[in-house]
Structure 1
Amino acid sequence: MHANQHNAAAPPPGEAPTPPGLSPWLAVASVGIGAFALVTSEFLPVGLLPAMAADLGITKGQAGLMITTPGVVAAFAAVLVTVGSGRLDRRIVLLALTALLVLSNLIVALAPSFGWILAGRALLGVGVGGFWAIGTAVGPRLVSPAHAARAMAMIFAGVSLGTVAGVPAGALIGELVGWRVAFGSASAIAVLVLLGQAFLLPALPPTQAIRLRQLPAILGIRKARLGLIATALLFVGQFAAYTYISPFLAQVADMPATVISALLLAYGVTGFVGNMLGGWAVGKSERGALIATSLVLGLAALAMPLFGANQIAATVLVGIWGLAFGAMPISVQTWMYKAAPDLMEGSSALFVATAQVGLASGALVGGMAVDHLGVGSAMVVGGLFALGCTAVIWTFGRDRVAALKVVAMR
């Protein structure tokens, strides 16, 4: 969810220039590790889902609510935290959001019932939505403008690392010593992040206060509307299927839990490669990158029920799927940036809100399919939504201005 990737804002007038040396980069690193802790926490139930469902005596579809709940809350939090924090120092806002992360994982680790788990996950949603809307805009302000891009890359390395290592590590800890220890470990990491940010982050007065009235202006831009539709379809598709990848591999491919943990790690590694490929592809054509990403993701998910009973085929498909997932955030993010470059903070809040609604809806729709039609149906539902994104961008995504110029030249 690479929000505000291009929002390399210079320090506001009157703010002291960033001092040279190591401390600004340590501050950036503390935000990047915060991003890692958030991504790990948000997707932790994916690797632990079968064990948690069995332990709590709930269906796998109901367990999917652990992904849906923070997604729904984060969708509102992305907009409300951005607007509501107004003139608050961004350092204070970030520390509060990281403290919520500590509390959320602790509640889940100690939860006496599934209701308490969902309450803890709802708190996480506030942290996730707020972080993506505010935290990612902070990176460029911690260093000199010349180093803004490198600061953003460091923060998004935390996101990629959370996807690559966090989910499979959580699954492995859950397998060895139980899912409660996995959430407890995530809470402990968040405590270290909080201490690091408290010591390393400087005061960060806001450069601008976002107003709600900016958001309808973005919705008035055709390319931005298309981008939000594509984001919704792609995130619903991804999380309808990905949320239930562990039970699918256990039931259909008949893989033991340790092999599934290794395969989730492979998924993350190919995702890291996909992230770099996506960055190269959007430089050539954001429309082409978005079409390719959604097409590969959709076809990989659809192929899982057809060939997934074969362990080698399932392994290959998971790797291909990971490539597409890695390229997904940068593809939709770049599309949104090109659609409204002058309204980046408001555009980012809308993008994060749409992505989180898609994530939550996908986990919910996939869970309903799993409980009524079997675990393979989640892959089919996810694949069809992703291909819906391909169809929308292929049909409506041509740049009108470019088309008009060609006509005029004739």
Structure 2
Amino acid sequence: MGLSMPVGTAGPDSVRTTARQWLAVAVLALSTFIVVTSEMLPVGVLTPMADGLRISTGTTGFSLTITGLVTAGVAPLVPRLLGGLDRRLVLAVAMVVLALGNVLTAAAPGFALLVVSRIVLGVGMGVVWGLAAAVAPRLVAPRNIALAVSFAVSGVAAASVIGVPLGTLVGNVLGWRAAFVMLAVAAVALAGGLLLVLPRLPRPSASASTQAEAPRGALWRRAAVLTGLMAVVFLVTAHFAAYTYVRPILEERTGLDPAAVALLLLVYGVFGLAGNFAAGALAAHRARATVLLLAVGIGASIVLLALFGTAGVPTSIAIGLWGLVYGGLSVAGQTWMTQVAPDRVEQVTGLYVGVFTAAIALGAFLGGTIVETADIGILLWSAGLLAVVALVAALVGPGPAPRSRPRNEDAAPVGAP
């Protein structure tokens, strides 16, 4: 299998996944949704948030850098530090930590407490996101592993579909602080939900963690792992350099009002959710081709925005395409990692999430620096160039081999050599 199933979850002989097991996956997906919405909400409320904190939009955007850096440090450490702890309990505690971070953000009078709040939030995010994709396969029957992983990380795309636009609307009506309070309440509720519906999830057994105690650097020495991480770093950096400042881009270049911005972010998110499931299905058999396709799409959408972002229709097309292709990146990159390191799923997932969120931090920092020192046009062209670099990295390095569809889907594992 490559992934073992603990007592209380679907085992290797399971033919179907039960309704309760799908409920567990759904609560896990909602948790990733709240985690990523908490991280990304400043994108949708950037202008009023900056006004409320009496700082510039560029400085406010750096809050994503703080969260990304903390998550990048926490996620790779999680599998090594947890030992035999029940992953269900760990996930629930992490959601409470996330709630605390959101409460502190809502209460922040200025940049200092904002920094503290985003550090706390980054800790909770690193644990939840770092474990979600590794836990999801343990909740379902083998035939449903690929779908379960896509479903679990669909919270990343759903955060754009519902979270950021809804948060933007709440921010417009009740104030941006109220939006963060709502996220805190939801995080506490989901902490209880995780305890209720997830089975006990101790450390994966030997078949899934044969090298759990091996030096962490061993994963870096796998060329296919390194290639995937390089492609993800450049793509995520490109995306967040531009996307962190999408509200001022749409307000200043396209001339949209706050309601129109919220609507266009909803369009972005709807396409992103579709891209998540489409890319998950494609990446299960063609992971490298999927990442290459997404790299082309991300670069094209940003360049389209740079060229025609002052007109409404081309901007809408660019935003929709951007959501579609970026929405699939998280699951496609995750699939790449588990296929090239099926023996160390928790470890490679933690490493992947750490690198992914570090790239979020780098992108937000790069975007903020360019916005503060140059202009939005230069920001978009710089992001487009980074997407091209990612495409080259994914093309020239080794990656997962294409996989044919097995005749017996019930026995088909994910990441099997």
- TM-score for the superposition, normalised by structure 2: 0.87
Is residue 229 of structure 2 the alignment partner of residue 228 of structure 1? yes
In 2, Cα distance between the equivalents of 1:16 and 1:311?
53
Greater shift in the superposed pair: 175-184 or 193-202: 193-202
Residue in 2 that maps onto 1:94: 91
Q: Closer, same or farther in 2 for the Cα pair 1:281/1:155, shift >3 Å?
A: closer
| TM-fit CA distance, 1:146 | 5.0
Contact 1:173 1:179 in 2 (8 A): yes
In 2, Cα distance between the equivalents of 1:378 and 1:106?
32
Letter in 1 for 2:189: L
Contact 1:88 1:205 in 2 (8 A): yes
| TM-fit CA distance, 1:286 | 2.5
In 1, Cα distance between the equivalents of 2:21 and 2:342?
26
Residue in 1 that maps onto 2:159: 162
Q: Alignment length, in residue pairs? A: 394
Structure 2: which 5+ residue stretches go unaligned? 12-16, 404-417
Q: Closer, same or farther in 2 for the Cα pair 1:185/1:17, shift >3 Å?
A: closer
Greater shift in the superposed pair: 78-87 or 95-104: 78-87
Residue in 1 that maps onto 2:5: 11
Residue in 1 that maps onto 2:118: 121
Q: Deviations over 1:354-374 (max 9, x none)?
A: 111111000001100000112
Residue in 1 that maps onto 2:130: 133
In 1, Cα distance between the equivalents of 2:9 and 2:173?
49
Could you say what the CA RMSD is over the residues aligned between the two structures, in angstroms?
Answer: 2.5
What does residue range 225-304 of structure 1 map to in structure 2 within 5 Å? 225-283=226-284, 285-304=286-305
Is residue 330 of structure 2 the alignment partner of residue 329 of structure 1? yes
In 1, Cα distance between the equivalents of 2:18 and 2:284?
32
Contact 2:241 2:368 in 1 (8 A): yes
Q: Closer, same or farther in 2 for the Cα pair 1:167/1:212, shift >3 Å?
A: farther
Residue in 2 that maps onto 1:4: none
What does residue range 134-149 of structure 1 map to in structure 2 within 5 Å? 134-145=131-142, 147-149=144-146
In 1, Cα distance between the equivalents of 2:270 and 2:226?
32
Contact 1:369 1:378 in 2 (8 A): yes
Contact 1:164 1:271 in 2 (8 A): yes
Structure 1: which 5+ residue stretches go unaligned? 1-6, 403-410
Q: Deviations over 1:311-331 (max 9, x none)?
A: 211111111111111122233
| TM-fit CA distance, 1:21 | 5.8
Residue in 2 that maps onto 1:381: 382
Letter in 2 for 1:245: V
Contact 1:8 1:141 in 2 (8 A): no
Residue in 1 that maps onto 2:354: 353
In 1, Cα distance between the equivalents of 2:231 and 2:10?
38
Contact 1:293 1:324 in 2 (8 A): yes
In 2, Cα distance between the equivalents of 1:54 and 1:8?
51
Residue in 1 that maps onto 2:179: 182
Contact 1:82 1:130 in 2 (8 A): no
Contact 2:97 2:120 in 1 (8 A): yes
| TM-fit CA distance, 1:284 | 5.4
Greater shift in the superposed pair: 145-154 or 264-273: 145-154
Contact 2:30 2:155 in 1 (8 A): yes
In 2, Cα distance between the equivalents of 1:218 and 1:234?
21
Q: Closer, same or farther in 2 for the Cα pair 1:249/1:16, shift >3 Å?
A: closer
In 2, Cα distance between the equivalents of 1:198 and 1:281?
33
Q: Closer, same or farther in 2 for the Cα pair 1:77/1:251, shift >3 Å?
A: same
Greater shift in the superposed pair: 353-362 or 135-144: 135-144
Residue in 2 that maps onto 1:407: none
Task: Give % identity.
Answer: 34
Greater shift in the superposed pair: 166-175 or 131-140: 131-140
What does residue range 13-162 of structure 1 map to in structure 2 within 5 Å? 15-16=7-8, 22-145=19-142, 147-162=144-159
- TM-score for the superposition, normalised by structure 1: 0.89
| TM-fit CA distance, 1:28 | 2.9
